[in-house]
Structure 1
Amino acid sequence: MGVYDFVEKRVEDSIYSNYSKKDLVIEVEHLHSYLDRLYNLLEHKNVSLAEVKAIVMDALYESRV
């Protein structure tokens, strides 16, 4: 199996394979906003593991996936 075949198989098996481009952009923007928020907290504040977990759980809950 070549790299191309591997990628094609991953795309077919992906939970995102039926999403429209618009829906994928929404999901990516959602993920980006949570990652940016998390990065800024970790970079500029003394943040606890509980706070990190809360942000991650919020991101997972809010995601449509």
Structure 2
Amino acid sequence: MHPTRFIQFCVQALPKGGPDIAAAEQWQSDDAPPFGLVVSSTTGSRVWVQVTAGGAHSAELTTSP
């Protein structure tokens, strides 16, 4: 799943996932990573999450001698 699509999924799913999650939003600023998410709780605390991705290497591994 592409990071942008995963961020969209998290923004929709996380607030519905539990009573302690108040909001989830995409995190962007000039010095922020390109794929970030800030999750806010009902207590006022926040967690910033960076989402990374990598290509699948299984095809390379199965074709090597």
TM-score (norm 1): 0.32
Bigger relative contact order (CA 8 A; separation at least 6): 1
TM-score by length of 2: 0.32
Per residue, is there more helix in 1 or in 2?
A: 1
Structure with higher strand content = 2
